[in-house]
Chain A
Amino acid sequence: MLADDQLGAARDSPDDLEPYLRAFERIVADSNQFLVVATSAADEPIATLQLTFIPGLARRGALRGQIEAVRVRADHRGSGVGAELMAWAVDESRRHGCALVQLTSDTTRAGAHRFYERLGFVPSHTGFKLKL
């Protein structure tokens, strides 16, 4: 799902799983980061996202839920599973006491922006990137 993506195609590949397996171990070991999948009736992963809880002093010391890497398998797009998974992330954030859920989306992903706005997200800030 990561590789089968408009931006991921150039930077992700399922050929060598080693870097993904290493990264997976680190995510699982961190109690503030959750990598989840939605599964089909046949128990296959058809959508994924990652949720990270970030404490901070801004906004009256609000805990925030950060959603990243939202992907839906090509043959399940438009089925509502993406919205269901996002609803899970919002509920889970609320359960953990977050005052806010945040995400950033590449400026070229116009379809994704409409999707997030339909789910009640508002464009509220500007995201910058620096390659190190």
Chain B
Amino acid sequence: MDVIRRARPTDIEAIARLFGSPGEPLAAAFRQIASTPHVTLVVAEDDNGVAGTAQLTILRGLAWEGAVRGLLEGVRASRRGVTSALLTWSIKEARRRGCSRLHMDSGLARAELLDFYARFGFEHSYQGFTRSL
């Protein structure tokens, strides 16, 4: 059974490995996350330790009559079952925090992933854009 809990500083190296960047100095970024109330970073743990991570940001805006929305990013997991656990946790947590929508950013999605996300009710409805600074 996977346990989802808030990430601790001691999880940083395991998270860096999930992002494919072991040894990355991420302590400063971790402190920044910890001091930002609208951002929650979690890890999924199984018998072998940290097996996944995800970040949920609560966004407030004026559009949609001031709807509160969740933004799920940085989902990385060692196996598909852990991704499922992270998605299930995020949906429940977003609902608990009053979100009327949960947005999720993913890499340019493959067909197989679209089907996987669709099982949770996610629709592909946005094109994501980025500009490096």
Chain A residues with a Cβ under 8 A of chain B: 2, 8, 11-13, 19-20, 22-24, 26-27, 30, 32-33, 35, 50, 52, 54-58, 60-63, 66, 68-69, 90, 93-94, 98-107, 113, 116-117, 119-132
Chain B residues with a Cβ under 8 A of chain A: 12, 15-16, 19, 21, 24-26, 28-30, 32-33, 36, 38-39, 41, 53, 55, 57, 59-67, 70-71, 73-74, 91, 94-95, 99-109, 117, 120-133
CB of B60 within 8 A of CB of A27, answer yes
A57 is contacted by which of B19, B59, B130, B132 (Cβ under 8 Å)?
B19
Interface on chain A toward B: helix, strand, loop, or mixed SS? mixed
Whether A69 contacts B61 in the complex (CB less than 8 A), given A32-B38, A104-B103, A127-B103, comes out as: yes
CB of B39 within 8 A of CB of A132, answer no
Question: Which of chain A's residues have a CB closer than 8 A to the CB of B24?
Answer: 60-61
Shortest Cβ gap from B73 to chain A (Å): 7
Question: Which of chain A's residues have a CB closer than 8 A to the CB of B126?
Answer: 104-107, 126-129
Docked complex Cα distance between A130 and B109 (Å): 16
- Tell me which of A19, A124, A132 has the highest count of chain B C-beta atoms within 10 A of its own C-beta: A132
Q: A55's closest neighbor in chain B, by CB?
A: B32
Question: Which of chain A's residues have a CB closer than 8 A to the CB of B63?
Answer: 2, 8, 11-12, 68-69
Shortest Cβ gap from A45 to chain B (Å): 12
Shortest Cβ gap from B88 to chain A (Å): 12
Question: Which of chain B's residues have a CB closer than 8 A to the CB of A122?
Answer: 129-131
B130 is contacted by which of A35, A124, A130 (Cβ under 8 Å)?
A124
Docked complex Cα distance between A124 and B126 (Å): 11
CB of B129 within 8 A of CB of A129, answer no
Extra inter-chain contacts (15) besides given A11-B65, A130-B121, A131-B100, CB under 8 Å: A11-B63, A23-B62, A27-B61, A57-B15, A57-B30, A58-B19, A63-B32, A68-B61, A100-B132, A123-B127, A124-B130, A125-B108, A125-B128, A131-B101, A132-B91
Docked complex Cα distance between A37 and B74 (Å): 30
Shortest Cβ gap from A28 to chain B (Å): 10
Shortest Cβ gap from B52 to chain A (Å): 13
